[in-house]
Chains A and B, each alone.
Chain A
Amino acid sequence: MISSKKEYLFNAFFLLITGLSAFLIIVLLLGIFVVLFSESLPAIKKFGFVKFITTPTWDPVREIFGGAIPLFGTLVTSFLALIIAVPIALGIAIFISEVAPRSVKEPIGTAIELLAAIPSIIYGMWGLFTLAPLQAKYVEPFLQSTLGKLPYIGKLFSGVPLGIDLLTASLILSIMIIPFTASIARDAFQLVPAVLKESAYGLGATKWEVIKDVMIPYCKLGILGGIGLSLGRALGETMAVAFVLGNLNQFPSSLFSPTTTVTVKLANEFTEAEKDIHLASLFYLALLLFIMSFTILAIAKYLIQRTRNR
Chain B
Amino acid sequence: MRKRKIINKIALTICFFTALWGLFWLFFIIFDVIQHGITALTPSLILNDPTPPDVPGGGLKHAIIGHLLITITATLIGVPIGVLGGTFLAEYGRNWRVSRIISFLADTMVSVPAIIVGAFVYAILVKPFGHFSGFAGAVALAIIMIPVIVRTTENMLSLIPWTLREAAFALGAPYYKVIFQIVYRGAGMGIFTGIILAIARVTGEAAPLLFTSFNNAFTSYDLREPLASLTVTIFQYAMGPYEEWHRQAWGASFLITLLILALTLLGRYLIKRRFRH
Contact = CB atoms under 8 A, between A and B. Distances in A.
Contact of A239 (B5, B86, B206): B206
A8 interface: yes
B174 A7 contact: yes
B256 A39 contact: no
Interface string A215-254: 0000000000000010011011111001100000000000
Nearest to B83: A21
Contacts of A298: 104, 108
Interface stretch (B10-18, B162-170, B185-193): B10-18
Interface in A46-96: 87-92, 94-96
B176 A32 contact: no
Contacts, number: 265
Nearest to A30: B105
Interface in B115-140: 115-117, 119-120, 122-124
A25 B22 contact: no
Interface string A172-199: 0001001100100000000000000000
A100 B20 CA distance: 12
Contacts of B203: 119
Nearest to A304: B107
Contact of B105 (A25, A39, A209, A290): A25
Contact of A206 (B5, B36, B206): B5
B92 interface: yes
A14 B85 contact: no
Contact of B92 (A19, A130, A207): A19
Interface string A1-38: 00000011011001101111111111011011001100
A222 to B, nearest CB: 15
B32 A126 contact: yes
Given A14-B179, A18-B88, A238-B207, A36 B105 contact: no
Contacts of B107: 301
B38 interface: no
Contacts of A29: 105, 109
B81 A24 contact: yes
A138 interface: no
Contact of A119 (B112, B176, B205, B246): B205
A29 B102 CA distance: 10
B221 interface: no
Contact of A35 (B17, B93, B123): B123
A239 B84 contact: no
Contact of B204 (A115, A122, A283): A122
A87 B264 contact: no
| Max chain B Cβ within 10 angstroms of own Cβ: one of A8, A98, A119, A290 | A119
A238 B113 CA distance: 8
A293 B116 CA distance: 10
Given A31-B124, A112-B23, 12 more contacts: A7-B174, A15-B92, A18-B85, A22-B102, A24-B81, A25-B106, A25-B109, A118-B204, A119-B204, A122-B29, A206-B8, A207-B8
Interface of B: 4-5, 7-8, 11-12, 14-19, 21-23, 25-26, 29-30, 32-33, 36, 80-82, 84-89, 91-93, 99, 101-102, 104-109, 111-117, 119-120, 122-124, 143, 146-147, 150, 174-177, 179, 200, 203-207, 210-211, 214, 231, 234-235, 238-239, 246, 249-250, 253, 256-257, 260-261, 264-265, 268
29 contacts: A7-B174, A10-B174, A14-B175, A15-B176, A21-B80, A22-B93, A26-B102, A26-B105, A28-B146, A31-B120, A32-B120, A92-B19, A115-B25, A117-B264, A118-B204, A121-B206, A121-B235, A122-B33, A126-B253, A175-B22, A182-B22, A236-B113, A236-B116, A263-B113, A263-B115, A271-B214, A282-B119, A283-B119, A301-B107
Closest 5 CB pairs of A and B: A236-B113, A119-B204, A91-B18, A18-B88, A21-B85
Interface of A: 7-8, 10-11, 14-15, 17-26, 28-29, 31-32, 35-36, 39, 87-92, 94-96, 98-100, 108, 110-115, 117-126, 128-130, 175, 178-179, 182, 206-209, 211-212, 229, 232-233, 235-239, 242-243, 263, 266-267, 270-271, 282-283, 286, 289-290, 293-294, 297-298, 301-302, 305
